[in-house]
Chain A
Amino acid sequence: MGTKRKRSVTAKKKARATGVRLLVGTRKGAFVLTADGKRDKWDISGPHFAGWEMYHLKGSPADPNRIYASQTSGWFGQKIQRSNDGGKTWEPVGDKFVYEGTPGTHQWYDGTQHPWEFKRIWHLEPSLTDPDTVYAGAEDAALFRTTDGGKSWQELPGLRSAKGHLWQPGAGGMGLHTILLDPSNPDRIYIAISAAGVFRTDDAGKTWRPMNSGLKSPYQLPDPDAEVGHCVHRITLHPSRPGVLFMQKHWDVMRSDNAAESWSEVSGNLPTDFGFPIEVHAHEPETIYVVPIKSDSEHFPPDGKLRVYRSRSGGNEWEALTKGLPQRDCYVNVLRDSMAADSLDPCGVYFGTTGGQVYGSANGGNSWKAIVRDLPAVLSVEAQTLT
């Protein structure tokens, strides 16, 4: 007992010595939420870039004060902003995203081929080691990279050679929304596209393979086991086990234990296996979180109850986490890039809703509290653990 108490006190001291910064992208601007290690009181700054759609903001793991942000507008196009001081000040950097060579075509809604057209950047993924290197996921789906801090961007065109002519946009657009960098292998990157599926490179982006074996989409594709075309909503991994991946698909929660070579369903006892985000606990690689949504035609939680579901066994067995979350009359959605975890002890978990709430849990999901309630619709949430 004495040892336990001592360990607990040590953990608390450690927690107090650190802090968390949440980077929140919304339909009408960006917000930066900061707290100390207790994660009880939050300072909220913003809106930054008021009125612009802020699809995604993410800090460099190599330099947490270096943050990149995707700023976009139906009127005025794509901008990329960079901060070198943790989000206090920003400067625009390069935003010229041009498909390499002749852009080519992909499948269109009417069965014809349609030229690739750049619309926006959905996701920014800074390198694990170099603050000047960042990957950007685009709509229409393509992967771009900068190695000069955002001044210039080049496409990695090999991705679109991976059966790109068969990719077809879903209702939400054909966006490259997830980029996972393998911490154990700098040449390996996973990406996911809505609605094309998961792809992997093992040669730093030169060549790519579809990695969708085991995914089944019986009501979306004529061939439910098709090599491409699956509506993958989000994938994630724990850095200590980069060969184990978890996926929230349009329907089904999936996992792979062989670096996405094959997938198996782990939806288990979820009330519905439709949803958008999926996140892994910072210290427990088999603990994962999803937010079930009733269906693709009703993008809100079942029964008006906002429930995060946690599995401590890597899927199949799920428990509802409801303490502090609205359990009646709640009809918000949680979008794919809107859930994140910090790496404090205990692990903090956060998510934002289309109703403008950002909820946080400082105890791995056991209880939740609204950090802020009335932001514009939240598009993305990223957590930075500050030391």
Chain B
Amino acid sequence: MIRVLLPTHLRTLARVRGEALLELPGPVTLGSVLDAIEAAYPVLRGSIRDHVTLRRRPFVRYFACEQDLSHDPAETLLPDPVATGAEPFLIIGALAGG
């Protein structure tokens, strides 16, 4: 079970309380988790990644186990604690204010 923590606005949009829980059959990569969360909550398509290019939106960040994975490629394996559900995968609205 993969635990995904969404930012408040996306939790509201997807009507998720607390963490989103995902079952992933294959390798737990950055891309497979993002694919799975969009499949489980289609309203999130376009809000984390671009609809067409699937590039991360500029002010969205991916954190896991105190690491910033935002710039890592989609095939990056997530840390074991995330893959086992001990730690959540965090999707964050970037600090973008003044």
* Interface residue ranges, A against B (CB under 8 Å): 49-52, 73-79, 92, 95-96, 98
Contact = CB atoms under 8 A, between A and B. Distances in A.
B10 to A, nearest CB: 6
Contacts of A92: 13, 43
Given A73-B9, A75-B57, A98-B52, 18 more contacts: A49-B12, A50-B12, A52-B9, A73-B47, A74-B96, A75-B93, A76-B9, A76-B10, A76-B48, A76-B57, A76-B60, A76-B93, A77-B46, A77-B47, A78-B46, A79-B47, A95-B46, A96-B46
Given A51-B9, A92-B13, A92-B43, A75 B51 contact: no
Interface in B24-55: 43, 45-48, 51-52
B34 to A, nearest CB: 14
B77 to A, nearest CB: 26
A24 to B, nearest CB: 20
Interface of B: 7-10, 12-13, 43, 45-48, 51-52, 57, 59-60, 93-94, 96
Contacts of B13: 76, 79, 92
A98 B93 CA distance: 24
B60 A75 contact: yes
Contacts of B93: 75-76
A265 B59 CA distance: 44
B39 to A, nearest CB: 15
27 contacts: A49-B12, A50-B12, A51-B9, A73-B9, A74-B96, A75-B9, A75-B57, A75-B59, A75-B93, A75-B94, A76-B9, A76-B10, A76-B13, A76-B47, A76-B93, A77-B46, A77-B47, A79-B13, A79-B43, A79-B46, A79-B47, A92-B13, A92-B43, A95-B46, A96-B45, A96-B51, A98-B51
A74 B95 CA distance: 12
Contacts of A52: 9
Contacts of A49: 12
Contacts of B57: 75-77
Listed residue (B12, B13, B59) with the most chain A CB atoms within 10 angstroms of its CB: B13
B48 to A, nearest CB: 8
Nearest to A91: B43
Listed residue (B10, B45, B46, B96) with the most chain A CB atoms within 10 angstroms of its CB: B46
B67 to A, nearest CB: 21
Sorted from nearest, which 3 A-B pairs have the closest CB atoms? A76-B47, A75-B59, A75-B93
A50 B51 CA distance: 24
B43 A75 contact: no
A249 B46 CA distance: 34
Contacts of B96: 74-75
Contacts of A77: 46-47, 57
A204 B48 CA distance: 35
A250 to B, nearest CB: 28
A92 B41 CA distance: 11
A74 B46 contact: no
Nearest to B57: A77
A52 B7 CA distance: 13
Listed residue (B51, B93, B96) with the most chain A CB atoms within 10 angstroms of its CB: B51
Contacts of A79: 13, 43, 46-47
A186 B32 CA distance: 46
A208 B60 CA distance: 38
